[in-house]
């Protein structure tokens, strides 16, 4: 492990970023509302996947006041497909707090529902020019390699220490730009696999490259074992309507979302036929979902017949959307 020179890292990284960064829509604004929306969407989601959702969401809810005045099902419908729906609920809940004015200090931002240390630092630095270093997975990887540090980044102590290092590197004159630069480096050059070391502006400062340990860093010892599961969904159509149920608002996962029934939820199910299957992943759960068609005499309790032409307007679970498309029904 070695001690990198903060000033050298700062100047090289900013010079590289100013000519090499991706043209992402949230980088064209300092509006805290728009930056907040982007940072919440970027939690657990790649930038390329976020772009169409970000643009559609802001067309529908261009201001915090517009978001605060919307119904939750409208917000969830605009978010559908991005996953991790607690993010959308927290965004909606916090909109009432920021509609009259977005907090302009780190602590005020940090108190918003769904905002942690990383998101607060990103908004504070990019929107308000406050000197707080961001630390996400990309930054942890860059720090581990520059310092050639084999500590477990799953450890709270290691993450705190890496945050201190990132804070020392931070350009206090341009904190938002610097934070975006180090995240950009991790996202496009200092990759988890097959890093592009020859293109890295910090290659001369990278102790891991000198020691030949880039591929072994960062170290994360604690991993969640994947689970492989089988499931089935039934598309029951009658008179241009599709049988669907809505999850309870009190449910912890996908609350208030509409979904297709599973076979064991339908009494009197007849003419059951498998028409295909698809794979679906939620965190470390890997599903193989069979899609069936069938008929029932009446809707079970908790289910309703919904017009097939309006399904795309509802907050449908992603798995149900995939099943409907496989059955030839737009969703």
The set of catalytic residues is 39
User: Can you tell me the distance from the alpha carbon of 72 to that of 246, in angstroms, rounded to the nearest whole number?
Assistant: 14
Q: What is the DSSP string of 17-71?
A: HHHH----GGGG---HHHHHHHHHHHTTS-HHHHHHHHHHHHHH--SHHHHHTS-
Task: Please answer whether residues 82 and 64 qualify as being in contact, where contact means their C-beta atoms are separated by less than 8 angstroms.
Answer: no
Q: How many CB atoms lie within 10 A of CB 302?
A: 11
Interacting residues of 240 by C-beta distance below 8 A, sequence separation 6+: 307, 308, 309
Backbone angles phi, psi at 317, to 5 degrees: -65, 150
H-run or E-run covering 191:
none
Instruction: List 292's β-bridge partners, or say none.
Output: 234, 274
Task: Please answer whether residues 182 and 169 qualify as being in contact, where contact means their C-beta atoms are separated by less than 8 angstroms.
Answer: yes
Task: Please answer whether residues 236 and 266 qualify as being in contact, where contact means their C-beta atoms are separated by less than 8 angstroms.
Answer: yes
Tokens of 143: 């720090």
Closest among 44, 213, 219 to 140, alpha carbons compared: 219
CA angle (247, 324, 40) in 5-degree steps: 55
Q: How many CB atoms lie within 10 A of CB 250?
A: 7
């Amino acid at each position: 492990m070695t001690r990198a020179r903060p000033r050298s890292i700062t100047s090289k990284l900013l010079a590289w970023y100013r000519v090499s960064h991706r043209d992402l829509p949230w980088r064209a604004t300092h509006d805290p509302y728009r930056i907040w929306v982007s940072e919440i969407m970027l939690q657990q989601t790649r930038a390329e996947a976020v772009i169409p959702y970000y643009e559609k969401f802001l067309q529908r809810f261009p201001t915090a006041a517009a978001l605060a005045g919307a119904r939750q099902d409208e917000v969830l419908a605009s978010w559908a497909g991005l996953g991790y729906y607690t993010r959308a609920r927290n965004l909606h809940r916090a909109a009432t707090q920021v509609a009259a004015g977005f907090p302009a200090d780190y602590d005020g931002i940090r108190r918003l529902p769904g905002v942690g240390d990383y998101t607060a630092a990103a908004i504070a630095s990019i929107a308000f020019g406050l000197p707080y270093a961001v630390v996400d997975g990309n930054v942890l990887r860059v720090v581990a390699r520059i310092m050639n540090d084999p500590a477990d980044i799953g450890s709270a102590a290691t993450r705190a220490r890496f945050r201190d290092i990132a804070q020392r590197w931070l350009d206090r004159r341009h904190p938002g730009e610097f934070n975006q630069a180090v995240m950009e480096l991790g996202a496009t050059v200092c990759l988890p696999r097959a890093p592009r070391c020859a293109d890295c502006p910090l290659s001369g400062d990278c102790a891991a490259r000198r020691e030949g340990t880039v591929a072994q860093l960062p170290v994360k010892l604690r991993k969640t074992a994947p689970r492989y599961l089988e499931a089935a969904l039934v598309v029951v159509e009658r008179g241009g309507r599709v049988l669907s149920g809505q999850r309870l608002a009190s449910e912890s996962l996908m609350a208030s979302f509409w979904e297709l029934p599973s076979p064991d939820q339908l009494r009197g199910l007849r003419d059951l036929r498998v028409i295909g299957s698809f794979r679906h992943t939620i965190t470390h759960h890997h599903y193989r979902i069979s899609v069936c068609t069938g008929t029932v005499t009446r809707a079970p309790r908790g289910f309703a017949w919904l017009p097939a032409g309006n399904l795309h307007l509802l907050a449908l679970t992603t798995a149900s959307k995939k099943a409907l498309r496989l059955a030839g029904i737009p969703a």
